[in-house]
Amino acid sequence: MGFLNYPVICLLLIAAFIFACVTSVKVKTTFRKYSKVLSSRNQPAYDIVRQVLDAEGMYDVSVGFVSGELTDHYDPRSNNIALSSAVYNSTSVGAYGVALHEAGHAMQYAKGYFPMKIRAAILPVANLGSQVWSLLFILGLIFSWGFLVDFGVILFAFIVLFQFITLPIEINASRRAITTLRNTGILTADELKGAKAVLTAAAMTYVASLAIGVLQLLRLLSIRSRQD
């Protein structure tokens, strides 16, 4: 089958890895650029997040601190938004974008956003797959056990499915962030451009990860087809 042409897939996979490296650098440089652009609001990002959550009646969501750069995340298990050292106390437009993105995830969870439910349902299988798919696949190739190769491919497919569902979740969280920043007047129109730039750059890293996952899956299917 043409779409399983191994050399072509490998070339595309190399291109996807390069794209991923570029997007990784891009998100860091974009964030650092707009972390130097201070907002006229002049409130720490953690305070802005708390203000937005309270306005939504989400008093049970806590806002905490986590070390590192761009390590910001929302944990639905503890219902906690963790903001990194470059974001937590910052008054920059870049920090506001990142912080409100995580608040967007908290809103998704609170309002039962359907894609998050799907992702949560397949998370255990995706976690299992990330741990054992390669071992099963390699053992299946070594001993010519097609069923084991197939099982490894299926588990990896769940990882790709997880990435596929994650992309619209991330885009939606960014849209919620931008809408909140605009509608509440937290950022001016000019300041909003910086927050958008940071969130767009971050979204491209998820696009790159998905592209790598899909191409890797095609590579595995190509290897499997050559066994028959």
Ranges of each domain in the chain: 2-225
Model pTM? 0.93
Q: What is the pLDDT of residues 100-158, one digit of tens each?
A: 999 999 999 999 999 999 999 999 999 999 999 999 999 999 999 999 999 999 999 99
Contact predicate 81/50, CB 8 Å: no
Instruction: Write the pLDDT tens digit of every residue in 41-71.
Output: 999 999 999 999 999 999 999 999 999 989 9
- DSSP helix/strand/coil, 32: helix
- Burial category of 70 from C-beta neighbours within 10 Å (exposed 0-12, middle 13-18, buried 19 and up): middle
Residue 126 · residue 75 · CB < 8 Å? no
Secondary structure class of 25 (helix, strand, coil)? helix
pLDDT digits over 159-189, tens only? 999 999 999 999 999 999 999 999 999 999 9
Other Cβ atoms within 10 Å of 195 Cβ, number:
29
Buried b (16+ CB within 10 A) or exposed e, 109-139: bbeebeebeebeeeeebbeebeeebeebbee
CA dist., res. 134 & res. 101, Å (int): 33
**Is 102 considered catalytic here?**
yes
Catalytic residue among 56, 69, 102, 191: 102
Q: Coil, helix or strand for 109? A: helix
Which among 4, 2, 28 is positioned nearest to 204, based on CA atoms? Answer: 28
Q: Give me 22's structure tokens.
A: 């570029």
